[in-house]
């Protein structure tokens, strides 16, 4: 099992899409291991988007990510990191395939509904950045056999 971090961005909160997006991950069969609302600071966003600090839009994305609180989630499943990236779709909502979250709900590269960790290393780092150990819950889902059979 793998755990990954998803952030429902301010555009998702503002557009009243929280339930709909959470539902996508639930219906896929991922287990919600942690979830909270938090208002991201410039400091945590500078760390989170450090790989983009030379880009001209660095300050703009940090501003967009802090217009209101976000929902941070930890989702778990077999191959969850790639599964969630595939569900999220291409970064630019206008290019993202229909059926993906960004493809279905976003018309923008910046306002693209979700952040999703892109590798096991980033997932581990990002989960630590946004959650304490006590905020991640290891309960069992009763439908594991129906989800994975003998995989």
Binding-site members for ATP are 9, 57, 85, 91, 102, 112
Q: Is 17 in the site for ligand IDP (CB under 6 A)?
A: no
With CB under 6 A as the contact rule, the residue among 5, 7, 33, 61 that binds ligand IDP is 61
- Which residue in the set 34, 76, 112, 123 belongs to the binding site for ligand IDP (CB under 6 A)? 112
Known catalytic residue at 48? no
**Interface with ligand IDP includes 115 (CB under 6 A)?**
yes
Cβ atoms of 71 and 7 within 8 Å: the answer is yes
> What residue numbers does the annotated binding site cover?
9, 57, 85, 91, 102, 112
Which one among 1, 26, 41, 57 touches ligand IDP, defined by CB under 6 A? 57
> What residues pair up with 38 in beta bridges, in sequence order?
70
34 forms beta bridges with 74
Partners of 8 in beta bridges:
71, 114
Sheet hosting strand 31-38, strand order edge to edge = 31-38, 70-77, 2-8, 114-116
110 scored as a contact of ligand IDP (CB under 6 A): yes
Residues with catalytic function: 115
Using CB under 6 A as the criterion, which residues of the chain lie in contact with ligand IDP when the complex forms?
A: 52, 57, 61, 91, 109-110, 112, 115, 118
């Amino acid at each position: 099992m793998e755990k990954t971090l998803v952030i429902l961005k301010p555009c998702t909160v503002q557009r009243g899409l929280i339930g709909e997006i959470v539902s996508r991950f639930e219906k896929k069969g991922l287990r919600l291991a942690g979830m909270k609302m938090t208002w991201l600071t410039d400091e945590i966003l500078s760390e989170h988007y450090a790989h983009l600090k030379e880009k001209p839009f660095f300050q703009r994305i940090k501003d967009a990510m802090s217009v209101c609180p976000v929902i941070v989630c930890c989702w778990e499943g077999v191959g969850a990191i790639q599964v969630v990236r595939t569900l999220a779709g291409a970064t630019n909502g206008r290019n993202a395939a229909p059926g993906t979250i960004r493809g279905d709900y976003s018309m923008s590269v910046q306002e693209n509904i979700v952040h999703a960790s892109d590798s096991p290393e980033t997932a581990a780092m990002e989960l630590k950045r946004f959650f304490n150990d006590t905020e991640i819950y290891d309960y069992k889902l009763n439908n594991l056999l129906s989800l994975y059979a003998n995989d």
